[in-house]
Chains A and B, each alone.
Chain A
Amino acid sequence: MSFLPLAHALAARQDLPVPAWLFAWGASIVLIVSFFALSVTWRAPRFEEGHWRPLGAGLSRALLGLPAQILCAAIGVFLLGLAIYAGLRGTEAPDRNFALTFLFVTAWLGFPLFSAVLGDVFRPFNPWRAVSRVAGAGFAALAGQPPAHLRYPERLGRWPAAIGLIAVVWLEVVYGASGGVAVGLSPHTAAIAAILYSAYTLTMMALFGTEQWCRTGEVFSVYFGMFGRLGWFGSRDGRLGIRRPFSAATRWATVPGSAAVVIASIATTSFDGAQEGAFKGALESVYNRFVDWGLGPTAAIRLDDTIFIALTFAGVAAVYLIGVRGMSSVPGAPPLRKLREGFAHTLIPIALAYLVAHYFSLFVFQEQAQFTYLLSDPLGTGTTDLFGTASSGIDFQLLSANAIWYVQVGALVVGHVVGLTLAHDRATAFWGDYRQAARSQYWMLAVMVAFTCFGLYLLSVANG
């Protein structure tokens, strides 16, 4: 029996666990930083205002104008189409087929990483938004009026995206796992899933409107857009501008269900990182129990994983909600609901740090495949060599184990600092009295220390 993390089906290499001495250093730095955070003195919010400055009009037009929109949309639609085609017609070897690496590494990990620096870069490439906009424009031209949409239920908020996010990870790490044989998600299944998701998304966009669905329901828009809120660039009224990093995140969680999205992100990454490490023993014993009860190996492994993903989500949510509950006990606190939404964005840097810590090496190694043999021979059938790179391989010596460890621990420490910064800033906005604001932050500090140390712990027992 094998439990397969995301990396396993694609990459031939897994990370070594972070050694104890580095774990201790990382955790110590986190605590020292946290002590320091207790004495931070800024008393008025610094990130609540956008601090947005427009960039040159020419640059704005070049990057956001109609020709650029059409070009980006065409690239997005083409790449999704290529991934689906490769999945349906290409080899069933997951590592040789364009579909899996493109969907689950290049796009799924690449957009969060780039968005966190550059802003929401997925939006112009979003293939479903592109198709839906063209369809909408076609409808308007034929009918003489823009399509009418249903009113989106406000209370639903981003919950569809949160559930969708868990479903995407579930598809990759749970559905792809099977009893006994070490195969991951097959390219064919990934292609079918992409087709079904496209049909679902276009339907929802037709029902509720393209932009509304992108804002609240479309998994990838919401998920990548969340990380985009950390980035430097953003547009306002069609004008590209530069903003204070992280400042756009402060207005992200105003939609209900946003906390669920960021918690789902932390939970699913944790689960994937823990299944061959921290959770391995527990997963195996529950699996064995299920098999004893007469479940087949594949059903047992899927049920087992599903239960653990749900438990991880509940655990991450519980830590956050305890912190919120604690803050609400500080005099002058806003209502619980406002607190719950008000601090959700402070977890985005933690979610990003988890992502970097768990998938950084996979991304670096697998992108070598993406840009060499998977580009030249997307179907993996050995019949094409478009760019003459079909026979290249991955250079696994590109990153030493030490380099990977430093990036992993460094990401967690930086994420911790940014999370604390955003939380402190929000507290100064919520509590008029500076002392109460500082007191409320003992709670968020505990939440952040818990997540960061849990992250370090997962790394130190990874692939044990």
Chain B
Amino acid sequence: MNHARKLSVLSVLSVLLFALAAIGGLAACGSSDSETTTGAGAETSGAASGGQATTEGPGAGERGKAGATTIVVKNGEPVGGVQDLEYSAGDQVRFTVDSDVADEVHVHGYDLMKDVPAGGSVSFSFPAEIEGIFEVELEGRKEEIAELRVNP
């Protein structure tokens, strides 16, 4: 009886230890992820987007607060897929949309809307004061062109 009880306590302990180790592992993965993303988010808005044509000029790693990202729209779709714009709360969000189609660019949540003419471009600059993830969309086409992330 006593022996059996000891055994089961041991087995539970080992299960919990295993769970702890698994969580530790997950957390480690998670934290390395978050370090890279928050690190990038603080200084750059365009580096995470990975699109070739999306950042203008040299020194993409140092843009963000000062520089601006350009989202290029061809045939009504963002070149290089949906672009990531990452900022910390309080930063100034700056980006430009270069579009070959006329539409209205809508930044959800912040509820900013600007028309872009075919072959023209439109620029946004506003403080990142709402935390969360927001869609940037070509309103007429309902096409998501960028995802704006504002971290606390």
Closest residue of A by beta carbon distance from B131:
A401
Residues from chain B with Cβ under 8 Å of A38 in the complex: 12
Contact flag A20-B135 (CB < 8 Å), given A31-B19, A401-B151: no
Count chain B residues whose beta carbon lies closer than 8 angstroms to a beta carbon of A. Answer: 34
CB distance from A275 to the nearest CB of B (A): 14
Q: Hey, which chain A residues are within 8 Å of B19, CB to CB?
A: 31, 449, 453
A461 and B37 alpha carbons, distance in the complex (Å): 13
The docked-state distance in angstroms from the alpha carbon of A203 to that of B109 is: 43
Q: Which of B30, B109, B137, B151 contacts A20 (CB 8 A)?
A: B30
A181 touching B133 in the complex, CB below 8 Å, given contacts A19-B34, A24-B23: no
One of B8, B27, B137, B152 near A442 (C-beta < 8 A): B8
Quick check: is B134 within 8 A (CB to CB) of the other chain? yes
Among B27, B134, B135, max chain A CB count under 10 A is at B27
B-chain residues with CB within 8 Å of residue A182 when the two chains form the complex? 135, 137, 142-144
Contact A16-B31, Cβ < 8 Å, known A435-B5, A449-B19: no
**Residues 75-99 of chain B: 1 if any A CB is under 8 Å from the residue's CB, otherwise 0?**
0000000000000000000000000
Interface hub of B34, B141, B144 (most chain A Cβ within 10 A): B34
In the complex, which residues 1-43 of chain A have their Cβ closer than 8 Å to any Cβ of chain B? 2, 12-16, 19-21, 23-24, 27-28, 31, 34-35, 38
Contact with A along B11-27 (1 / 0, CB 8 A): 11001100110011011
> Complex Cα distance A24/B27, Å?
6
Number of residue pairs A-B, CB distance < 8 angstroms: 90
Contacts of B134 on A, CB cut-off 8 Å?
12-14
Residues from chain B with Cβ under 8 Å of A383 in the complex? none
Other-chain residue from A20, A34, A463 in contact with B34 (beta carbon distance below 8 A): A20
Question: Is the Cβ of B142 less than 8 Å from the Cβ of A28?
Answer: no
Among the listed stretches A79-87, A155-163, A257-265, A392-400, which one makes contact with chain B, having 4 or more residues with CB under 8 Å of it? A392-400
A interface residues, tally (CB under 8 Å) = 37
Which A417-464 residues sit within 8 Å CB-CB of chain B? 435, 439, 442, 445-446, 449, 453, 457, 460-461, 463
Structural contact, A16 and B132, CB atoms closer than 8 A: yes
Known interface pairs A12-B111, A16-B151, A23-B27; A181-B143 also in contact (CB < 8 Å): yes
Not counting A20-B30, A396-B130, a sample of 20 additional A-B residue pairs whose C-beta atoms are within 8 angstroms of each other reads A2-B144, A12-B108, A14-B134, A16-B152, A19-B30, A24-B24, A24-B27, A27-B27, A28-B23, A31-B19, A181-B141, A182-B137, A183-B142, A397-B129, A400-B152, A401-B151, A435-B5, A442-B11, A460-B30, A461-B30
Give me the 5 closest cross-chain CB pairs, A-B, nearest first. Answer: A12-B108, A20-B30, A20-B31, A401-B131, A24-B27
A sample of 7 inter-chain contacts (CB < 8 A) reads A14-B134, A20-B31, A34-B16, A183-B142, A397-B130, A401-B132, A442-B15
